Amino acid sequence: MPRFQRTLENKLVAMAIADVYTGRDRIIHNPYQSQPTADDGVVTGPNYTVADFQLTDDTLSVNRRAHKAEHIDKIEMLQARYDLAMSRADRHAYAVKNKIDAFVFETAVTVAGATVAGAELVGGAANAAITLSDANIDNLLNGVRETLLTNNAEVDRGLFVAMSPKNFTSLSEYLQTNGFAVSDDTIRNGFQTHALGFDIYVTNNLYNDGTDDYIVAGVKGSIQLALPRDGGEFEKKSVSGKFGKEVVTSQVYNATIWENCKPEVLAIKVAS
């Protein structure tokens, strides 16, 4: 695996929250079954009702590419006391990571049939943006958990929430002033990676609709990310009419939320 790809995988938030496919297929299949319901009644009577069984196949084409290309002049390469091209490839990994994470979080909001919530999670008006603070962020996470449980989500697989640094500050302020051990630990370390039953991820790549941000929360593994290991590239190319080399990095990918997983992911509108 190229060093660029290792750095990319280590830094992607989506790697921690999604079901990640790294194989060679460029079309991924997700066949899912119709949900059965049981009948109930007294033991007398010989009749029962037969329902049709249905199998539906969702597919995802792995047809996106995040990339970065730069020209490095020969004099810059000579002045550096290290492999400048490899150093730039590491920097590219961060830039590509931001593009992929941003697409994943946008998908959680914009994919057809996405579950989008708003202030109703904290007792406000439906679909209105939530103004988060240390006074209501616990209500938000409790509301998310209640919604997921109502949707019969498989919460035993673990819950996550991805939020902005601003929202994370509100969560930290709440944790610093509530409880004992958690409060002391938050004050001492200034950071919590797990709170109120959720794994916490802080990102600057949340989707914004032009007015509001969207926190993404749900069951781990409910978002599908395709990140083929044979789809990452790092190249040093000769250039024409210039001195030096061209450094190109890229990663093939795509992401979706399968139809049967949409109730397990929430996009939550918050004031930016």
Report CA-CA distances (Å) from 130 to 118, 165, 214: 6, 16, 10
| pLDDT of 39 above 80 | no
Per-domain boundaries in the chain: 3-35+50-271
Q: Are the C-beta atoms of residues 72 and 88 closer than 8 Å to each other?
A: yes
Query: Mean pLDDT across the stretch 20-34?
Result: 90
**CATH number for the 3-35+50-271 domain, one of 3.30.70, 1.25.40, 3.90.1690, 1.10.10?**
3.90.1690
| pLDDT of 169 above 60 | yes
pLDDT of residue 272: 82
Query: Mean pLDDT across the stretch 13-18?
Result: 96
pTM, entire model: 0.86
Instruction: Give the model confidence (pLDDT) of 42-67 as tens digits.
Output: 776 667 778 777 878 889 999 999 99
pLDDT of residue 204: 96
| pLDDT of 147 above 90 | yes
| Neighbour count for residue 212 (Cβ, 10 Å) | 17
Q: Are the C-beta atoms of residues 159 and 148 closer than 8 Å to each other?
A: yes
Query: Mean pLDDT across the stretch 101-128?
Result: 90
- Residue 48 CA to residue 50 CA, distance in Å, equals 7
pLDDT of residue 180: 63
| pLDDT of 82 above 60 | no
Instruction: Give the model confidence (pLDDT) of 178-231 as tens digits.
Output: 776 666 666 566 667 888 899 999 999 999 999 999 999 999 999 999 999 999
